[in-house]
Amino acid sequence: MDYTTLGKTGLRVSVAGLGCGGNSRLGMGAGKSMEDAAQVVRKAIELGVNYFDTARNYGTEPAVGAAIKDVPRDSVVISTKSTIKVDGVRYTAAQVLDHLNNSLKQLDTDYIDVYMLHGVAPVDYDYALETLAEPLLKERDKGKFRHLGITETAPRDPTQEMLQRAVHEPCWEVAMLAYHMLNQNARTKLFPHMLEKGVGTLLMFVVRNIFSVPGLLEKTVADLVKNGDLPDDFPNKDDPLGFLVHDGGATTILDAAYRFARHQPGADVVLFGTGNPDHLQSNIDSILKPPLPDADVTMLHDMFGALTTVGLDSPDSMPKPK
């Protein structure tokens, strides 16, 4: 495993981080048990992963908590999150603090390494900054968590308007953002500022349905051409990313996706999700491979760099937090 420092936090983190949400939710999205989910976390730890991202809304905090009991607490880095509204109504600061305390109980830990406000839309950013940040920082100073972060709602903020504001506020030490081969907005709009400010970055959406569901990439590209978002003479409509798979390049499109994100300047942790322990190794192997060839990366930038709304599908379902 390779490790890096998460922005200015000083936390030493694995470049491959296990995301405990998404459609999989450590397998619980497919009906697996909490113990099955904990086994996925344990296997990831065996493979050198030390960063685990969960959330109140995922329902996987207890699985993460059970798994990390097997190792020294300071050997793993845990992030969890609270949304700031439900059914259109914003939570009060007191409610968000209750969520923090409940996450500590669910994780069965004395502290959380990174606590984040989850899926903050542009319209709610001022509320997050002006009403929620200060009370949370007071809880941080009590030792309940170590660093405050914020995550975007990619499907409802495809141009990353919220994070373009948040990156300039020193209270947010960590940010979670969407970034993949057909969604490169952050390359010019966010990463340079994050590097300058020392904001730690967690990359989500690196591999999504667009790369894993058969036929979806081809249909998406055809629609982009039809709508004028890609040129009429776009090459290889039937195999849009086939140029990435060759000797000296990627072995698969998924392999290319992980490597493209991992080696983006400013990227700290690439989050991946799975409910199958056997898939952990292949995902990690791709994240640890060298960068894609320069020519391939340049082609990705040239062909898809202007797109902003592609491949940002939300998870099919999430449990209602109690």
- Asked whether residue 3 carries a pLDDT value surpassing 70, the answer given is yes
The CATH number covering residue 134 comes to 3.20.20.100
Indicate the Cα dihedral angle 263, 260, 289, 155, nearest 10°: 100
Does some domain include residue 262? yes
Cα 185 to Cα 192: distance, rounded to the nearest angstrom:
12
Q: Which residues is 272 bridged to in the sheet? A: 18
Does some domain include residue 318? no
pLDDT, one tens digit per residue, over 231-270 is: 988 887 789 999 999 999 999 999 999 999 999 999 999 9
Cα 170 to Cα 137: distance, rounded to the nearest angstrom:
12
pLDDT, one tens digit per residue, over 152-179 is: 999 999 999 999 999 999 999 999 999 9
Domain count along the chain: 1
Tell me which residue range forms the domain holding 157. Answer: 3-304
Does some domain include residue 154? yes
- Asked whether residue 322 carries a pLDDT value surpassing 60, the answer given is no
Cα 124 to Cα 61: distance, rounded to the nearest angstrom:
25
Does some domain include residue 316? no
Does some domain include residue 209? yes
pLDDT for position 320: 58
Cα 50 to Cα 67: distance, rounded to the nearest angstrom:
12
Q: 150 with 128: CB under 8 angstroms?
A: yes
Say whether pTM exceeds 0.85: yes
The dihedrals phi and psi of 256, each to the nearest 5 degrees, come to: -60, -40
The type of residue at 151 is T
pLDDT, one tens digit per residue, over 183-212 is: 999 999 999 999 999 999 999 999 989 998
pLDDT, one tens digit per residue, over 279-307 is: 999 999 999 999 999 999 999 999 999 99
